[in-house]
């Protein structure tokens, strides 16, 4: 009798798809979503099992140091998305259409979305807005490009609203948000982000919608949750909104490690004999 060990086959990793996400909603399985902007972060998050990676225009804030998401360009977004896609095997990758790449011009929006899909290998785009962007969304969908909607607090509209306060707290705005959510579902968005709205309202919309509703600052009644990776890992301890749960304090870990490196260099402890050729 042979004693040869039979090694298990390495089964190929199955990519998350729009259908996977619909199935998760139907099964009541909450969807996890985090931002990613580079290859290494994407590898780590993908390896940990995150369902969706968002190449967010928040890169304008956390990577480039801008106060708002407005300055980031389509070329910047494409660069970040290329890095993220290369770092994933399983996660579904969504890319934000940045400010100025789609507003008020559905033809320009389609061209922007096509560039993202062709040049990055991403799986969908995301854009902000309801009724005002209906024609734009329809045109992008007509090219077979999946679209994720985004309602509630829409950071690209910061100059219109003047602050990042909770949206849809009054009846009129809440009714408009309900209407826009139904519209986005009806015209074909495969999923939707609801940002910084009352949890009761988000739960109501998620219960009525047939598509996955992903919340950020929208309570636990959504079909999934999204956070900025840098926020949940504690890479910026000066930013502490109520909706962020910090799962690590990497700012402290990194600074402690760097201080030790500096001390070892100063003392000539690094590199030692084993670290030299």
Residues involved in catalysis: 195
List, in sequence order, the alpha helices (H) in 156-274: 158-161, 171-187, 199-208, 229-232, 250-266
Phi, psi (deg, nearest 5) at residue 149: -85, 170
Non-local (6+) Cβ contacts of 190 within 8 A are: 18, 21, 22, 124, 146, 147, 148, 211, 212
Which tokens sit at 211?
A: 């598509």
Counting beta carbons within 10 angstroms of the beta carbon of residue 219, is it exposed (0 to 12), middle (13 to 18) or buried (19 or more)?
middle
Of 182, 118, 112, 193, which is closest to residue 152 (Cα–Cα)? Answer: 193
Q: Which residue has the tokens 């609203």?
A: 161
Which tokens sit at 260?
A: 């030790």
3-state secondary structure of 113: helix
CA–CA separation, 179 and 177 (whole Å): 5
CA dihedral for 23, 27, 33, 39, sign (positive or negative): negative
* DSSP β-bridge partners for residue 34: 53, 227
Q: Which residue has the tokens 């009714």?
A: 175
> What size, in residues, is the chain?
277
CA–CA separation, 58 and 67 (whole Å): 10
Which tokens sit at 145?
A: 């490009």
């Amino acid at each position: 009798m042979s004693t040869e060990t039979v090694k298990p086959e390495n089964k190929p990793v199955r990519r998350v798809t729009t259908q996977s996400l619909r199935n998760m909603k139907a099964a009541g399985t909450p969807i996890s979503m985090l931002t990613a902007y580079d290859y290494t972060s994407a590898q780590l998050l993908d390896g940990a099992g995150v369902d969706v990676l968002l190449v967010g225009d928040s890169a304008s804030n956390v990577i480039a140091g801008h106060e708002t998401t407005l300055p980031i360009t389509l070329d910047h977004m494409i660069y970040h998305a290329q890095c993220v896609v290369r770092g994933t095997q399983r996660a579904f990758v969504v890319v934000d259409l940045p400010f100025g790449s789609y507003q008020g011009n559905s033809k320009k929006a389609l061209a922007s979305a096509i560039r993202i899909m062709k040049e990055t290998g991403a799986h969908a785009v995301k854009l902000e807005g309801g009724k005002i962007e209906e024609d734009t969304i329809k045109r992008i969908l007509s090219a077979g490009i999946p679209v994720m909607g985004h309602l509630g607090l829409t950071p690209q509209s910061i100059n219109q609203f003047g602050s990042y306060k909770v949206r849809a707290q009054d009846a009129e705005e809440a009714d408009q948000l309900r209407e826009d959510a139904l519209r986005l579902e009806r015209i074909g968005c495969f999923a939707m982000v609801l940002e910084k709205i009352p949890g009761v309202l988000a739960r109501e919309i998620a219960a009525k919608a047939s598509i996955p509703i992903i919340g950020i600052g929208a309570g636990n009644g959504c079909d999934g949750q999204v956070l900025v990776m840098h926020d949940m890992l504690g890479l910026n301890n000066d930013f502490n909104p109520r909706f962020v749960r910090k799962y690590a304090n990497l700012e402290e870990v990194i600074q402690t490690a760097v201080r030790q490196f500096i001390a070892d260099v100063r003392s000539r402890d690094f590199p030692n004999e084993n670290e030299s050729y």
